């Protein structure tokens, strides 16, 4: 084990540190500067088939579902095709209407998650077109789908998924780019996304390497019994994934909410004992998110802002900064510090990082 850990204290730490090289592997040979697009040969779809796709639906469980939600936002933004995500665990039970013009994407690190496999089988029974976004080559979901995009994250041991999740969203950015470039995404915009993807490994490495500040913040709030994670649009699936990570490995109750929904009920929970992590991308919703932080603080709630924007001094109690990138790719970078926040909180509480209670790395039962 010591050898495999490569000097790291646990696999989650090691796998977070491997993210830059994992992203580089996912991008290798797939980005095309000249035509400002991505090549995803494993999809087996030519430009006419890509153009015929009218909708995209992502299916996955847990963090894979949240990655799918980030994927849906990316596909809608880059390709302007309606896209959404649904928990694979619900899909087969609700007698879904399967649409022949929809591209279904089954997402799974392990490729063995029973609920996701069952969703794929239901889709195939009904004649749906389903591709896989899978890490483990030769796994049940990869075989059942027969085509798709491999994540190339390398082996992931820690129950809490980090590098595989990151490579899911990186792959969906490439899918969005490809679908966009056979439609109305301009070459200039495509080039901007290609450059943004190329810059990701270095930016992610910087966040992981410079985590002393996140460790300090995690220790400051480690005694909290409950936490909110709030975000809008691009920040919303990021908030959901951040809450999931914290619950999973630290056992602190965390609830994710769309920032604008706060005033419709949950605002009543805000007090000095309820810290909120607010995801603040530097995008057109910046002033809305600043307003959310002001509302929380006016009611005595502590705020940790996770941002790539320049926020007014003193706006939040703590600020976790990430490097600026292309706005569409913000969810990828904004997710990384939340892994570290969960990790350092769990460490401060003395939890078993790699093997949280009651959980298995891959859920092969109903």
Binding site for ligand AGP (CB under 6 A): 61-64, 108-110, 113, 116, 159-161, 248, 362-363
- The Cα 286–Cα 283 span in angstroms is 6
42: left (phi over 0), alpha (psi -120 to 50) or beta: alpha
CB 132, min distance to ligand AGP, A: 11
Beta carbon nearer to ligand AGP, 132 or 235: 132
CB 162, min distance to ligand AGP, A: 8
At 231, list the tokens: 């975000």
CB 144, min distance to ligand AGP, A: 13
CB 277, min distance to ligand AGP, A: 17
Q: Identify the CA nearest to 134 among candidates 182, 88, 82, 98.
A: 88
Q: What is the CA radius of gyration of the chain?
A: 20
Beta carbon nearer to ligand AGP, 274 or 334: 334
At 162, list the tokens: 């980090």
At 53, list the tokens: 């796709």
- The Cα 215–Cα 250 span in angstroms is 14
Kindly give the pairing relationship between strand 129-134 and strand 102-108: parallel
Check: CB of residue 145 under 8 Å from CB of residue 96: no
Instruction: Please tell me what DSSP assigns to residue 262.
Output: G
CB 128, min distance to ligand AGP, A: 19
Q: Which residue is nearest to ligand AGP (CB)?
A: 62
Active site residue 361: yes
**219, 247, 355, 361: which is the annotated catalytic residue?**
361
Beta carbon nearer to ligand AGP, 132 or 325: 132
Edge-to-edge strands, sheet with 253-258: 253-258, 226-231, 276-280, 303-307, 318-321
Beta carbon nearer to ligand AGP, 199 or 363: 363
- Ordered DSSP codes for 303-333: EEEEESS-PPTTSSSEEEE-----GGGHHHH
CB 11, min distance to ligand AGP, A: 12
Beta carbon nearer to ligand AGP, 188 or 365: 365
Beta carbon nearer to ligand AGP, 60 or 190: 60
Check: CB of residue 301 under 8 Å from CB of residue 317: no
Catalytically annotated residues: 361
């Amino acid at each position: 084990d010591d050898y495999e850990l490569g000097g790291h204290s646990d696999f989650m730490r090691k796998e977070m540190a491997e993210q830059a090289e994992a992203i580089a592997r996912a991008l290798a040979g797939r980005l095309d500067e000249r035509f400002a697009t991505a090549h995803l040969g494993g999809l087996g779809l030519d430009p006419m088939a890509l153009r015929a796709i009218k909708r995209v639906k992502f299916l996955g469980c847990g963090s894979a579902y949240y990655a799918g939600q980030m994927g849906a936002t990316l596909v809608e933004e880059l390709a302007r095709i309606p896209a959404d995500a649904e928990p694979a665990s619900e899909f087969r039970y609700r007698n879904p209407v399967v649409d022949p013009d929809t591209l279904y994407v089954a997402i799974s690190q392990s490729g063995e998650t029973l609920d996701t496999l069952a969703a794929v089988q239901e889709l195939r029974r009904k004649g749906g077109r389903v591709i896989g976004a899978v890490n483990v080559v030769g796994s049940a979901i990869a075989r059942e789908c027969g085509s798709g995009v491999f994540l190339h994250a390398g082996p992931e041991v820690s129950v809490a998924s980090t590098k595989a999740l990151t490579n899911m969203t990186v792959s969906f950015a490439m899918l969005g780019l490809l679908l966009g470039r056979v439609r109305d995404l301009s070459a200039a915009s495509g080039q901007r996304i290609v450059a943004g993807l190329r810059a990701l490994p270095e930016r992610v490495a910087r966040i992981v390497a410079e985590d002393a500040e996140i460790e300090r913040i995690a220790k400051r709030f480690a005694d909290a019994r409950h936490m909110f994670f709030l975000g809008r649009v691009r920040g919303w699936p990021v908030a959901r994934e951040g809450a999931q990570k914290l619950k999973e490995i630290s056992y602190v109750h965390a609830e994710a909410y769309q920032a604008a929904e706060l005033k419709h009920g949950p605002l009543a929970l805000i007090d000095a004992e309820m810290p909120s992590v607010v995801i603040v991308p530097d995008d057109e919703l910046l002033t809305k998110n600043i307003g959310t932080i002001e509302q929380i603080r006016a009611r005595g709630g502590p705020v940790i802002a996770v941002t790539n924007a320049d926020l007014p001094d003193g706006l939040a109690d703590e600020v976790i900064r990430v490097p600026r990138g292309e706005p569409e790719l913000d969810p990828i970078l904004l997710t990384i510090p939340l892994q570290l926040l969960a990790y350092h909180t769990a460490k401060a509480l003395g939890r078993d990082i790699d093997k949280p209670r009651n959980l298995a790395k891959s859920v092969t039962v109903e």
